[in-house]
Structure 1
Amino acid sequence: MGSFEIGEADFLLDGRPHRILSGALHYFRVHPGQWADRIRKARLMGLNTIETYVAWNAHEPVRGEWDATGGNDLGAFLDLVAAEGMHAIVRPGPYICAEWTNGGLPAWLTALPGIGLRRSEPVYLAELTTYLRRVYEIVAPRQIDHGGNVVLVQIENEYGAYGSDKEYLAELVRVTRAAGITVPLTTIDQPTPQMLRDGSLPGLHLTGSFGSRADERLATLREHQPTGPLMCAEFWDGWFDWWGGVHHTTPAADSARELEALLAAGASVNFYMVHGGTNFGLTSGANHKGRYLPITTSYDYGAPLDEAGNPTDKFWAFRDVISRYADVPDEVPDAAAPAPAFDVPLEGVGDWIDAVGVAASGCAVPSGFAVPSGFAVPSGFAVPPSFAVPSGFAVPPSFDDLGHVSALVRYETSLPSSEARRHRLQVGEVRDRAWIEVDGVAVGALSRTHGERSLPIPGGSRLSLLVEERGRVNYDHRLGEPKGLIGPVLLDGVELADWTVTPIDVEHVAAWALAAPASGAVGRAALRGTFALDAASDLFLDTSDWGSGFAFVNGFFLGRYDRTGPQRTLYVPAPVTRVAENSVVVVELADAATPVARFVSAPALGPTEE
């Protein structure tokens, strides 16, 4: 058994002054087969602690269906941290931001009628209490005073930037202590007087989040907390990217200089991030500070360990600074090796929109769609029993109304007869992108990012809008906003009604693509291919010649790609691959100019700011 306490000037580990040298590493952004590798490399940089958020929506995407296994096995992750001889800090939110979809809050939660997010509202408090108890069932027995390695638990997350409900914070503390959490509790806020005041409570230890002007920010923190250790609990050593932007980097020398100032002042530090990882599947969030900006699949973050876990210039610069204040291991990580580079021809298996209509009849796989040789459905990637059956609605429902957690919904309606050749289609708001067809012919698209809400369309009899949800806003008061077609859909100023609505599960489409007959289709199509490897290996899938869509290797959902960049490669973790035969599936929304899956030797995350 050990002890960890807040002293007059220091953290106290077993009664002795202790400096926390920590790095953020989110278990839900790293393949579990690579957790140990990333933790070990963080230790080799000189760290003694690993910090992680807990993503509620990763553990409970469907209400009442809690999952703490596989990639959600927080307990196994904390045990690996302990096995490396390191402490752990846990930040369960329930709100985490983190550029993670909906800030970590489940979509079913934020869709509950009348719910009051991040405040002392009864429905919200009841749900989060159940959530926190489940998390603390995992964390409590792993606390340092129970023989484990967890030394700090955080209450909420940068709450002073959002609200000032002290009763809400007090209830979080009550639930936390009642669940058996005995280690010190912390808060985190940007070090401004208002945020530190609104986001804290007596008895909670204040920490700061910043990436520059360390001396100034530490002084502000000290003004609001005269005693106790100083800590930057989010030292921003990089930044995130969004589709249509640039790849953000920060010079290693500049970040190292700020780190030096922190450590020279005697402060503890948690690097955000030591290893960013990847927003696999549909987990990336979005920012909206006047403009909707969806976050890329890569969460490389310009961190000391890149997306593939390799040390960067920042790793060595930080290690050098840390070595002046603490012992660092003699061992160092191996240098990055080039990934295998090769091309895989892809064959089209048709417009998957048509497949949705076929499968909606209830067929597991449409009649005659035998799995072709070389395209066996991978283990853990079952062909769906059925796709969602189209349903009729007077007005277009949101994704949230449908309880749909995947990325696509198709809205269809009949157009009124008219002799006019051109019409004006107008939508209240598209969240987040709509691909529009009249009588099966593509006529344009509407993008929330570009502020587009209307376009001219030709006359016809049938209108279809395929709406793509591109990431839920993860910050501020847009948390929980509904997705889909929001507001009326008008044709020449007259509202359209009687909609057929089909929710589409992207993973189901990818599974269907493995079993469908080849068609040679291009444009909006599913494509597939197979390849062999001599050994399991990290790979980088080049998406430069494709439009916009989703990619899978051996049934593992790599995430989104988009021609707007900056990201041009998708990271494939080595544990996903296997010796001999592997499969790749692409679900393309626009047009894949080249029906080839090109794997390249290194990541390409796009141009940087000058």
Structure 2
Amino acid sequence: MSVLQIDGDDFTLDGEPFRIISGGLHYFRVHPDQWADRLRKARLMGLNTVETYVPWNLHQPRPDVFRLDAELDLPAFLDLAAAEGLHVLLRPGPYICAEWEGGGLPSWLLAEPDIRLRSQDPAYLRAVEAYFEQLLPPLLDRLATRGGPVLAVQVENEFGAYSDETTHLAHLADLLRRLGVDVPLFTCDQPADLARGALPGVLATANFGSRSREGIAALRAHQPTGPLMCTEFWIGWFDRWGGHHVVRDPAQAAQELDDLLSTGASVNLYMFHGGTSFGFTNGANDKHTYRPTVGSYDYDAPLDEAGEPTAKYHAFREVIAKYAPVPAEPVPGPAPKLPATTVTLTDSAPLFANLPALGTAVTSERPLTMEQLRQDFGYVLYKAILPTAGPVLLELDDVRDRAQVFVDGQPVGVLERESHERAIAFTVPRAGSVLRLLVENQGRVNYGQEMHDRKGLPGRVLLDGVELTGWTNRPLPLSDLGGLAFAPTGGPAVGPVFHRGTFRVEEPADTFVHLPGWTKGNVWVNGFHLGRHWSRGPQRSLYVPGPVLRPGPNEIVVLELHAGHFARTVELREQPDLGPTEE
């Protein structure tokens, strides 16, 4: 039994001095068939520990549903880490940030109109307690005190950047203890937030990505005794739609790591392997302007999105070897990829013609939000009748996050939250024309004060200054496309349309879907939702894990929200394209 203890200014493990050299590896961003490969590469780089968050919104998608299976089998992930000889830092939240949808908080919390997230609000606390009461018991045998790999557990996450309500942190720490967590607890905050986010009696750690000595000095000034640790040593960064692909020079990042380790501090690289925010799970930021995050979480990490060691991997391995033993085993070379091929999408299914197969309509006087519709991800299609003909001005109280406007099935424009757009003028051909607003949740805000991020149309819709009432709200989570009626593609398509094609595979391997000429939408392979495509970039490819594929025929479905690509082809390539890098 290897139990982590705090002994003065040091960690000890089984009574011996111990330095945590860890890396972030989120099981929920990696296909479960690839967990073992990523964990092995973590050990081969010289890590003795891996860190993972736990996404509440996936494990408890509804208050009465709890999942701990398949791609969410956290106990199995922890067992694989232990089998590889790795320890684990567990960060169960309830809030995790992670550039993840809603920071991991489930959307159903926001169905409560006045709920205060990350606080002592009784409604929030009841939900957190019910979640932890289901999550923690199956994990207790994986704690180091019981022979498992979990050395320490984090209390909340960067709380000082959000609030100074220390009583809430204390409540969460007491809850963890009450439910059987008897390994050390820790908090993490950026240096400027340590005073607000630390909890007396719990080890404080700091998050930073440069000026390591300054960060460690700030931590020591706040916490005069105890081990020093950087829980998020940012060695890369995430990308947002409309930005550049962010990279960091491997040599410069390695020097920063060397500087940090030379202080004697422990470290967790954020990230060792970022993986992918598959499907609709990416988050967003909103610092006066809403900015959704791309689906790739490559993060310019030592292991790239497909799990391949990068130059940064080898540079970090050399640095770590100066401070700790590094396995002599050779690092695996690049894994085989599918041969490049072009796939023609031969069948189509217009979204508007397939609505009954995608969601059940609900009527209301005013538009309902996604949360009121018990919907987590995807789209909502709002429909109302326009009472007059001629030029009109449509105004929305709010757009969360992107609304495509159709009149009698024809597109008349787009309103984007990111551009602060809430009004559009168009001409109604006749009284009684049908107005449709297809609204996309592009990711709930995952950081800061704007996290109460209800989706859809949270407010009134005005037509020439008069409220438009009598709505049909149809949730379109797109979690099951099995009911779509595909037919051979005919003439030019006006989106939104699903397009389907097949391709053959001899031996499954990783590949990347590229969509030159397409505009915006989503991609599925064999029913597995890869994520969003958008010509805005920077991301211009989607990662396909090899385990998603099968020998023989495979199916790809592309939802195009706008005019379809004329050739209706997509390309499978051996390399990704994450976009131009920052100068």
Q: Shorter-chain TM-score: which interval?
A: over 0.9
Aligned to 2:371: 400
C-alpha displacement of 1:230: 0.7
SS of alignment partner, residue 592 of structure 1? coil
Instruction: Look up the equivalent residue of 1:411 and give its one-letter code.
Output: Y
SS in structure 2 at match of 1:604: coil
* Residues in 2 aligned to 1:391 and 1:254: alpha-carbon distance in whole angstroms: 55
Per-residue deviation, 1:451: 1.3
What is aligned with 1:344? 343
Trace 1:412-427 onto structure 2 (pairs within 5 A): 412-418=383-389, 420=390, 422-427=391-396
Determine if the alignment matches structure 1 residue 241 to structure 2 residue 239: yes
Amino acid in structure 1 at the alignment position of 2:446: N
Select 1:196's aligned residue among 194, 197, 200: 194
Q: Residue in 1 aligned with 2:100?
A: 100
Does the residue aligned with 2:458 lie in a helix, a strand or coil? strand
Matched, 1:597 2:570: yes
Q: Runs ≥4 in structure 1, deviation > 6 angstroms?
A: none
Aligned-residue offset at 1:595: 0.5
> Residues 82-101 of structure 1 correspond to what in structure 2 (within 5 A)?
82-101=82-101
C-alpha displacement of 1:169: 1.1
Output the CA distance in 1 between the equivalents of 2:348 and 2:514.
21
Alignment of 1:514-533 (within 5 A): 515-520=485-490, 522-524=493-495, 525-533=497-505
- The CA distance in 2 between the partners of 1:315 and 1:134, in whole Å, is 37
- The letter of the residue matching 1:517 is A
Q: Residue 276 of structure 1 contacts residue 303 of structure 1 at CA under 8 Å; is this kept in 2?
A: yes
User: Are 2:542 and 1:570 equivalent residues in the alignment?
Assistant: yes
Cα deviations across residues 547-604 of structure 1 (Å, max 9, x unaligned)?
1111111111111111101001100001101111111111111133231121011000
Do the aligned partners of residues 286 and 131 (structure 1) sit closer, same or farther apart at CA in structure 2, a change above 3 Å counting?
Answer: same
Q: Distance in 2 between matches of 1:299 and 1:573?
A: 14
Q: Spell out, residue by residue over 1:269-297, the C-alpha distance to the aligned partner (whole angstroms, 9 max, x if none).
A: 00000000001011001011111111111
Q: How does 1:24-423 map to 2 (within 5 A)?
A: 24-192=24-192, 195-336=193-334, 337-356=336-355, 360=356, 386-418=357-389, 420=390, 422-423=391-392
- Shift in alpha-carbon separation, 1:114–1:456, aligned structure 2, 3 A: closer
Give the Cα–Cα distance (whole angstroms) in 1 for the partners of residues 533 and 81 of structure 2.
Answer: 32
Q: Where does residue 414 of structure 2 map in the other structure?
A: 445
Q: Which residue of 1 aligns with 2:428?
A: 459
User: What letter matches 1:449 in structure 2?
Assistant: E
Aligned counterparts of 1:284 and 1:387: Cα–Cα separation in 2: 22
Aligned length: 576
**Is the partner of 1:173 in helix, strand or coil?**
helix
Are 2:55 and 2:105, in contact at CA under 8 Å, matched by a contact in 1?
A: yes
What residue identity is the alignment partner of 1:203?
A: G
8 Å CA contact retained: 2:337, 2:509:
no
Structure 1 vs Structure 2 CA RMSD: 1.3
Describe the SS at the equivalent of 2:33: helix
**Which secondary structure does the structure 2 equivalent of 1:120 belong to?**
coil
State the AA in 2 paired with 1:603. P
**Hey, what's the Cα distance between the residues in 2 that align with 1:277 and 1:477?**
27
Is contact 1:74-1:138 (8 Å) kept?
no
Q: In the aligned structure 1, how far is the partner of 2:558 from the partner of 2:538?
A: 19
Give the Cα–Cα distance (whole angstroms) in 1 for the partners of residues 7 and 31 of structure 2.
37
Q: TM-score, normalised by structure 1?
A: 0.92
User: Bigger shift: 26-35 or 499-508?
Assistant: 499-508
The 8 Å contact of residues 29 and 278 in structure 1, kept in 2 or not, is answered as: yes
Q: Is the 8 A contact 1:107 1:480 kept in 2?
A: no
Aligned to 2:581: 608
Does 2:515 match 1:543? yes
Deviates more, 1:387-396 or 1:74-83: 387-396
Q: Is the 8 A contact 2:285 2:447 kept in 1?
A: yes
Secondary structure of 1:606's counterpart equals coil
How far apart, in 2, do the equivalents of 1:436 and 1:549 lie? Answer: 16
State the 1:455 CA deviation: 1.6
SS of alignment partner, residue 582 of structure 1: strand
Per-residue deviation, 1:449: 1.0
- Greater displacement, 311-320 / 588-597: 588-597
Relative to structure 2, which stretch is displaced further, 38-47 or 136-145? 136-145
Instruction: For residues 202-242 of structure 1, give each alpha carbon's deviation from its aligned partner in whole angstroms, at most 9, with x where no partner exists.
Output: 11001000000100110010011111111000000000011
The residue type equivalent to 2:428 in the other structure is G
* 1:456-499 CA distance string (max 9 Å, x none): 21123221111111100001121132111132212222221111
Matched AA of 1:32: P
* Residue 383 of structure 1: aligned partner: none
Name whichever of 110-119 and 566-575 sits farther off. Answer: 110-119
Structure 1 residue 587 and structure 2 residue 559: aligned? yes
Secondary structure class of the residue paired with 2:523: strand
Q: Is the partner of 1:486 in helix, strand or coil?
A: coil
- Tell me how far 1:116 sits from its aligned partner: 2.1
Which secondary structure does the structure 1 equivalent of 2:449 belong to? helix
Structure 2: which 5+ residue stretches go unaligned? none
- 2:421 maps to amino acid: E
**Structure 1: gaps (5+ residues):** 361-385
Give the 3-state SS of the residue equivalent to 1:512 in structure 2.
coil
In structure 2, the CA distance between the partners of 1:93 and 1:603, relative to structure 1 (3 Å rule), is same
Moved more, 527-536 or 479-488: 479-488
Q: CA deviation at 1:30?
A: 0.4
- Contact (CA 8 Å) 1:347, 1:520: kept in 2 or not? no
Are the equivalent residues in 2 in contact too, given 1:139–1:150 (CA < 8 A)? no
Moved more, 593-602 or 151-160: 593-602
CA distance in 2, matches of 1:332, 1:305: 15
Moved more, 122-131 or 76-85: 122-131
Q: Is the 8 A contact 1:398 1:484 kept in 2?
A: yes
For 2:452 and 2:56, how far apart are their aligned partners in 1?
14
Query: For the Cα contact (< 8 Å) 1:20–1:269, is it kept in 2?
Result: yes
Counterparts of 2:317 and 2:362 in 1: how far apart (Å)?
A: 58
Find the aligned partners of 2:354 and 2:27 in 1 and give their Cα distance.
Answer: 35
Q: TM-score, normalised by structure 2?
A: 0.97
How far off is 1:345 after superposition?
0.8
In 2: Cα distance, 1:571 partner to 1:141 partner: 34
**Structure 1 residue 125 displacement after superposition:** 1.1
Counterpart of 1:428 in structure 2 is: 397
Q: In structure 2, the residue corresponding to 1:51 is in which secondary structure?
A: strand
Identical aligned pairs, as a percentage?
Answer: 48
CA distances 1:289-324 after superposition (whole Å, capped 9, x unpaired):
111111111000000000000011110110110011
Q: Is the 8 A contact 1:339 1:602 kept in 2?
A: no
Q: Distance in 1 between matches of 2:4 and 2:70?
A: 30
| SS of structure 2 residue aligned to 1:410 | strand
